[in-house]
Chain A
Amino acid sequence: MSLPVILFVVVATATAVSAVGVVASRNVVRMAVWLLFTLIGVALIYFLLGAEFAGAAQLIVYVGGTLVLVVFGVMLTAHGPLRELRTRRAEWVIGGTLGAALFVLLAAVSLELGTKEPHTAPAPGTGQIGLTFLGVTETNPPGNLSGVPGDKPIARTRVAYLLPFEIVSVHLLVVLIGAAYLARAKRRVKP
């Protein structure tokens, strides 16, 4: 058992347990905390997979942003009786069965896929992700982030992600404005 395997087992177990915690806990605040652990666990998995930038983004955006939003939501809405809304046993059974069935099926499909060997090339760094956004696939030497080398023309893929990413960012802005509008305190008009 090498270190990555041990790390993976630990992190994966923690993540899975936290996810179960999210499902199982009745209290919204506790759910939020369990979700926090799950998200951190997923971020760690990213690190394990060599996707440091994605992991960092996961930590910053999810844990730092989304989860804070959720917690705010919980704080704004969670009054005594609402904090624990009871679910009927039959619904637990249905939900549980559905989840289990889904897991079984997905797991079966995953196992069928078999184990893919990872490619041997070093994991791409953050800079290369940025270049991917520009559609640049190959630089020489690889990993040289200082700029475009002089001796080799830049190869570009037909697909660059810069424009989609910009669109997503604008979308995010729009969504945030919309959310602020939706959630703004309305003065109730008393007749």
Chain B
Amino acid sequence: MLDWFSSTPGRLYVVGTLLPLAAFALLLTAGGLRALCRPFRKQGGFAAKVYWTLGGDTPGRGGAYLATASMAAAAVLGAIGLVLVLGDHTTGAERTARWGERADWLRIGSLDSAAPPVWEKQRETDPTRPAPGPALALEVGYKIDQLTAVVFAMVTFIGTLIFVFSLGYMKDETKETVADHEVDNQRQPTPPAPLPEGKGETDTHDAHDAHHHGTPLPSGRGDGGVGSGYSRRGRFGRFFLYLSLFCFSMLNLVIADNLFQVFVSWELVGVCSFFLIGFFYERPSAARAANKAFIVNRVGDAGFLVGIFVAWTYLGTLNFEEMNRRVRGPDPAAPGLVRVTPAGDGALPLGDARADGTHLVLRPASATKPATGTVPVPAKPVCTDHGALPYWLFVVMGVGIFLGCVGKSAQVPLQTWLPDAMEGPTPVSALIHAATMVAAGVYLVGRCHPLFAPEVLLVIAYIGAVTLFISATIALVQTDIKRVLAYSTCSQLGFMMLALGIGGWVAGLLHLITHAFFKALLFLCSGSVIHGCHHEQDLRKMGGLRAKMPITAFAMLIGVLAISGAPLLSGWYSKDMILSAALAYVSVHPEHWLLFALPALTAAMTAYYMFRLWFLAFTGRPRDVHLHDHAHESPAVMWLPLVVLVVFSVGVAWGWPLWEAHASQLGHVLEKAEPASVSAAFAAERAKEHHVHTAAGLVALVAAVAGAGLAFAVFYRKQPTPEALYARGPAWHSFLLNKWYFDEAYDAAVVKPTVALARAAAAADKRPGGATEPDGKRLDLRTLDGLLNALGQCAAALGGFLRGAQTGRVRAYVAALALTAVVMLWMLAIK
């Protein structure tokens, strides 16, 4: 057993990935069995015994403990793996063998090296067209480098803490019946009776929107408490079931060594987020938010698929290593894109590389020696040979892959799902925002960095910059505690994307890690606040909670400081690196000055809105006395993870000397995993960075202090009155409050036309008289429905006619039979 691990220590990661899956499978089996046996619970016998053994009526906690334990075990494995990876000094093939394995999952095509005939034929018409590999294989595999190890450790560690936190936070779900007042509140505006499916959806739409746009609800939540309210069974186990699957998907995504496996996990992550955001699916708002997250992510995934298809078709492999080698060449010292314009006879003049070549030269995936001179296209090409990929397709591939990341990491223009995802339970928000889902996008951009053309990187940078700015402005005015955090997540993800786009590979991914810690901390703190305030999320009703929940207040302050970029806290290191990378980039390319101006401005806004949140929630006079009186500190199972996260939020990026942002130890670790192409492509910026990073650090610091000071002045010194908080601000205020009207724009541009189209289609389907008319009465050939009905009516009429022949008189049948025999004989006899 030990040998098995010591020869290839990467298997630790496989085991760590499979542990949550095992927990998921166990919980699923147990839950399914219990549900199967439920009808027999009163009757005794084996089925009833199974039912009661598996927990009976009350949702069991055993499964939750099991899931938490498996996650903790994965975290331990992740920690061990991290130590092993960092201590492993092997290089080259040996390292590859120790920390990665590959296996075919599906192999497509013949096993010999001849190209399939169809490709030969295509090759005749288009000589530049590359042939596919001897046999394309969809693989499963894992590859552990420093980036993987760090992200894996982060995901499992934060995941474990969130699991533990959930044990306390989701305690309500362990009851046999859970009253969900939210459902009643949201359903109130609709007619009382349970509505037909489609109708209820459209009606609640408006109520939901009103709620989301920040208009205060007429009645306080949670204090209705009438006996007739909606109640359901607790779903404690199910929550942990979903969480386990979520973590498995994320871990699988992290250790994957090929795009295909990433895509599979990607979709799994998506579907898990759908389940978890819609965990309270009885609430129409939650159901809508889940749908929205899922559908918006599909838009991104469509692009991702296009990228994968291009890569598969032209590169012939989806393995990251091999793709990099094919695009960038086998020589790690000189990674670069070689663009040529093919000669008339289809040969690729490799020596004649030009910056405006129409095709990108693809190098062999496995060869080690770089080729020079003119390479004639072989008569019988195989995939491992040189080929060419039209440059615009290469850009399309990069943009496609990035589009998937845009969806998952909630970048403009697909950012709208993330704030709505706050409908899920708070630990889910923490998990989505900190450790798993949104991290997946950034992680993938980091992984695929060598596959991105410079144009794509510029797109990434600008998308990131726009996102971080827009989200921060929206976060300035939000009043829902979780929504502020959600937009801050968008904004921070924008920072990461920006950094990756301008060559700050280490900075972006370092920010991913540090952000994961302090954002998890912030979310769990907000969860603690929400829990302590009996599921009140409105900042305007809070205030003065510091005395009531000191631990949470302290932890949240640390989180706020970290995200604002207070020196020596983890966020400072990463943000400083990002800003200095941005400044370096701008000083090399002055025409892209926005790429520094926006993040610098946003750094100030970040500090402002985070401190605004903290001051509003924890300081000042209580604005809602009733709420304040009943507020309480959360139990130890909830605040212990907070304390642990505080420690990590402070020190996860430390290095020596402490005051030097670039000395971050975590950054050095990540630097080892940096693709060679990054430093090659951004050599000029790298050189510049050393000169500008003091200036950038100063800018960041000044911005943060300014933002924090402004918040201090507005929300601490000059206690805002509740009226002022509820007041409608000027136009820009409502513009921000309404999130730049993104939702409305999408609604008008996409949703409304779609619904109108669907209505039109439905109208074409239905008869003009409406659905009330009984079917089968009238023949109507003008509509689709009518046509189909007419078909049915014809069949019915024929049946009715033939029915008359079945008289039930046996002798008539015999007579008919004899008559048939006579006729047939007659036909035979009379030729």
Contacts and interface: CB of A to CB of B under 8 A. Distances in A.
Contact of B826 (A94, A99, A105): A105
Nearest to A102: B822
Interface string B342-367: 00000000000000000000000000
B819 A98 contact: yes
B764 interface: no
Contact of B825 (A91, A99, A109, A112): A109
B811 interface: yes
Nearest to A98: B818
A98 B826 contact: no
A105 B815 contact: no
A95 interface: yes
Contacts of B821: 102
A99 B828 CA distance: 18
B811 A91 contact: yes
Tell me whether chain B's interface is mostly helix, strand or loop, or mixed.
helix
A102 B818 contact: yes
Contacts of B829: 105, 108-109, 112
Contacts of B819: 98
Given A108-B829, A109-B829, A98 B811 contact: no
A34 to B, nearest CB: 20
A30 B167 CA distance: 93
Nearest to B811: A91
Nearest to A112: B829
Nearest to A91: B811
Nearest to A101: B822
A106 B829 CA distance: 9
A95 B815 contact: yes
Interface in B777-831: 811, 815, 818-819, 821-822, 825-826, 828-829
Interface string A65-100: 000000000000000000000000001001100110
Given A105-B829, A108-B829, A94 B822 contact: no
A125 B452 CA distance: 97
B825 A98 contact: no
B815 A94 contact: yes
B758 to A, nearest CB: 59
A102 B815 contact: no
Contacts, number: 23
A94 B815 CA distance: 8
B818 A105 contact: no
Nearest to A95: B815
B808 to A, nearest CB: 16
A105 B825 contact: yes
Contacts of A108: 829
A109 B827 CA distance: 12
A88 to B, nearest CB: 11
A101 B818 CA distance: 10
B825 A102 contact: yes
Interface string B90-129: 0000000000000000000000000000000000000000
Contacts of A102: 818, 821-822, 825
Contacts of B826: 105
Given A98-B818, A98-B819, A106 B811 contact: no
B434 to A, nearest CB: 74
A102 B820 CA distance: 10
B331 to A, nearest CB: 77
A101 B811 CA distance: 18
A96 to B, nearest CB: 11
B140 to A, nearest CB: 56
Q: A99, A105, A106, A112 — which one has the most chain B CB atoms within 10 A of its CB? A: A105
Contacts of A95: 815
Q: A98, A99, A109, A112 — which one has the most chain B CB atoms within 10 A of its CB? A: A98
A112 B830 CA distance: 11
A99 to B, nearest CB: 8
Interface in A97-133: 98-99, 101-102, 105-106, 108-109, 112
Interface in A139-161: none
Interface string B714-751: 00000000000000000000000000000000000000
Interface in B438-471: none
A102 B818 CA distance: 8
Contacts of B825: 102, 105-106, 109
Contacts of A99: 818
A102 to B, nearest CB: 6
Nearest to A99: B818
A144 B680 CA distance: 107
Nearest to B822: A101
A105 B826 CA distance: 7
Nearest to A94: B815
Nearest to A108: B829
Q: A95, A99, A101, A109 — which one has the most chain B CB atoms within 10 A of its CB? A: A101
Nearest to B825: A105
A98 B818 CA distance: 7
A79 B819 CA distance: 33
A38 B822 CA distance: 24
Contacts of A109: 825, 828-829
Interface string B17-30: 00000000000000
Contacts of B815: 94-95, 98
A23 to B, nearest CB: 13
Contacts of A94: 815
Nearest to A109: B829
B827 to A, nearest CB: 10
A107 to B, nearest CB: 10
Contacts of B811: 91
Contacts of A91: 811
Interface in B72-104: none
Contacts of B822: 98, 101-102, 105
Contacts of A105: 822, 825-826, 829
Given A98-B822, A102-B822, 14 more contacts: A94-B815, A95-B815, A98-B815, A98-B818, A98-B819, A99-B818, A101-B822, A102-B818, A105-B825, A105-B826, A109-B825, A109-B828, A109-B829, A112-B829
6 contacts: A98-B815, A102-B818, A106-B825, A108-B829, A109-B828, A109-B829
Interface of B: 811, 815, 818-819, 821-822, 825-826, 828-829
Interface of A: 91, 94-95, 98-99, 101-102, 105-106, 108-109, 112
- The 5 A-B pairs of least Cβ separation, nearest first, read A105-B825, A98-B818, A101-B822, A109-B829, A108-B829
